[in-house]
Chain A
């Protein structure tokens, strides 16, 4: 344990003050809430720092940071928003890094059903939940998948939108919507869908959901250390276990 702390301290000695404990408030896209909680648990075992997590839609966080929200780091569900923040001088441009590539699942709360793309139309009249495409990258990916399946018009009246992917999940989990597009990390772990039944939406049906993190407050040692930790092997294992992948060619 001690050696791990030591090695981390040495690792960060170049960029970050290692010894002093700091606290950081990190805005996290809703799809990443389960892994983020587990990552913070691990991180806090290894570090003196403390991390407070806030979950929501990427668009909401973007708007809030623009208006001076006191977040120290931002884990977005896309690249666009953290990059814009960096361009606007509200985030540290050099800290912009991909931390996960997400996957979409068409999901129902009922166990042991065979769900496929065809379930979307077999669901006659039933509502289909997704995150709001204007606010949430996962909603945009769901929208693309529906369009690429050629069902855009047919399903136009069946779609109900959650403010973020957590609300889309909640609509389906409570049974109010029989089907919905959720993030794989919300319903699966270690390569299996743990609850309900789902169809892993083929990656070629939507643009890749590349999720980027950015540092907002350079002074905050905890936030910097947490973003470094995200790229380490231990964090990677946790992130992968929730069904995310990483594209190592991507910076």
Chain B
């Protein structure tokens, strides 16, 4: 038996968390990236800085503020309480919120760069053929920015899988709910169950390597297609 049932549960939970967070991030991140790539508003700088904050902030800062925000007296806690959802700390949903904040730049920035690299040309051409703004966005911008969407999704997914500090602070280590792979490894190492920890930790190394291999491989390929579009 390679993985114990506990480890399998942690892996499944982690995949569920990363998938949910990535899908939501694509929904939130796409309009945000579009706006950041095209706006001339003075708000662009501050918003871009806020999106990039999780890149530089220690996870403990996010974890600390999330813990206060999710508490029944905190802003998110009051909102979810009023909606009858109760407190989201120590729940899967709470981790999804944390992951969205934590992985936001990893999804937004590649998409934003792709929109930016595309330039105005293709959209203007589409406009002369009579395409409306929504049509231009869905039939021209999104297909052209596909490499950005691929990189963003993979990086957002992988970064959520690698999340540790935030989960440790707002998760409460509940099996099947908040005990993700990284937390499970931490607990096993502290409890000196090195054998079990090896299986999970080794799998994480392999997984991360493969993800990066795909990302770097696709960047090379798309750099060539990108040039073709640019000419």
Residues on A facing B (Cβ under 8 Å): 57, 59-60, 62-63, 66, 125, 127, 129, 132, 134-135, 159-163, 170-171, 174-177
Residues from chain B with a CB closer than 8 A to the CB of A60 are 190
Task: Determine if B191 and A135 form an interchain contact, defined as CB atoms under 8 angstroms apart.
Answer: yes
Query: Interface extent on B, as a size class?
Result: 20 to 34
B18: Cβ under 8 A from any A Cβ: no
Task: Determine if B174 and A161 form an interchain contact, defined as CB atoms under 8 angstroms apart.
Answer: yes
Residues from chain A with a CB closer than 8 A to the CB of B173 are 132, 160-163
CA distance in complex: A160, B173 (Å): 6
CA distance in complex: A170, B90 (Å): 13
CA distance in complex: A59, B73 (Å): 33
CA distance in complex: A240, B27 (Å): 57
B50: Cβ under 8 A from any A Cβ: no
Known contacts A127-B172, A132-B173, A162-B172; A176/B191 CB under 8 A: no
B124: Cβ under 8 A from any A Cβ: no
Q: List 9 additional A-B contacts (Cβ < 8 Å) besides A57-B190, A176-B87, A177-B90.
A: A62-B192, A132-B187, A134-B191, A135-B191, A160-B90, A162-B173, A171-B90, A174-B67, A175-B73
B49: Cβ under 8 A from any A Cβ: no
B72: Cβ under 8 A from any A Cβ: yes
Task: Determine if B67 and A160 form an interchain contact, defined as CB atoms under 8 angstroms apart.
Answer: no
Task: Determine if B190 and A160 form an interchain contact, defined as CB atoms under 8 angstroms apart.
Answer: no
Task: Determine if B71 and A176 form an interchain contact, defined as CB atoms under 8 angstroms apart.
Answer: yes
B68: Cβ under 8 A from any A Cβ: yes
Task: Determine if B89 and A176 form an interchain contact, defined as CB atoms under 8 angstroms apart.
Answer: yes
CA distance in complex: A63, B186 (Å): 11
B70: Cβ under 8 A from any A Cβ: yes
Task: Determine if A129 and B172 form an interchain contact, defined as CB atoms under 8 angstroms apart.
Answer: yes
CA distance in complex: A159, B86 (Å): 16
Question: B69 to chain A: closest CB distance in Å?
Answer: 10
Task: Determine if A63 and B190 form an interchain contact, defined as CB atoms under 8 angstroms apart.
Answer: yes
Q: Which of A63, A129, A176 contacts B189 (CB 8 A)?
A: A63
Q: Mark B139-181, 1 if CB is under 8 A from A, else 0.
A: 0000000000000000000000000000010101110000000
Chain B residue at minimal CB-CB distance from A135:
B190
Interface residues in B185-230 (C-beta closer than 8 Å to A): 186-187, 189-192
Residues on B facing A (Cβ under 8 Å): 67-68, 70-73, 77, 86-87, 89-90, 168, 170, 172-174, 186-187, 189-192
Task: Determine if A59 and B190 form an interchain contact, defined as CB atoms under 8 angstroms apart.
Answer: yes
Of A57, A125, A160, A177, most B-chain CB atoms within 10 Å: A160
Task: Determine if A134 and B89 form an interchain contact, defined as CB atoms under 8 angstroms apart.
Answer: no
Question: B93 to chain A: closest CB distance in Å?
Answer: 14
Residues from chain A with a CB closer than 8 A to the CB of B168 are 163
Chain A residue at minimal CB-CB distance from B94:
A176
A to B CB contacts below 8 Å, 12 in the list: A59-B191, A63-B189, A63-B190, A127-B172, A135-B190, A160-B174, A161-B174, A171-B172, A174-B67, A175-B77, A177-B89, A177-B172
Chain B residue at minimal CB-CB distance from A168:
B172
Question: A12 to chain B: closest CB distance in Å?
Answer: 35
Chain A residue at minimal CB-CB distance from B89:
A176
Chain B residue at minimal CB-CB distance from A136:
B190
Chain B residue at minimal CB-CB distance from A170:
B67
Residues from chain B with a CB closer than 8 A to the CB of A161 are 172-174
Question: A161 to chain B: closest CB distance in Å?
Answer: 4
Residues from chain A with a CB closer than 8 A to the CB of B86 are 125
CA distance in complex: A171, B77 (Å): 14
Chain B residue at minimal CB-CB distance from A176:
B89
CA distance in complex: A221, B170 (Å): 41
Question: B88 to chain A: closest CB distance in Å?
Answer: 9
Known contacts A175-B71, A176-B70; A134/B172 CB under 8 A: no
CA distance in complex: A90, B216 (Å): 46
10 closest Cβ contacts across the A-B interface? Answer: A160-B172, A176-B89, A161-B173, A175-B71, A160-B90, A60-B190, A176-B71, A59-B190, A134-B191, A174-B71
Question: A35 to chain B: closest CB distance in Å?
Answer: 24
Residues from chain A with a CB closer than 8 A to the CB of B186 are 163
Residues from chain B with a CB closer than 8 A to the CB of A163 are 168, 173, 186, 190
CA distance in complex: A42, B222 (Å): 66
Question: B45 to chain A: closest CB distance in Å?
Answer: 33
Known contacts A160-B173, A161-B172, A161-B173; A176/B190 CB under 8 A: no
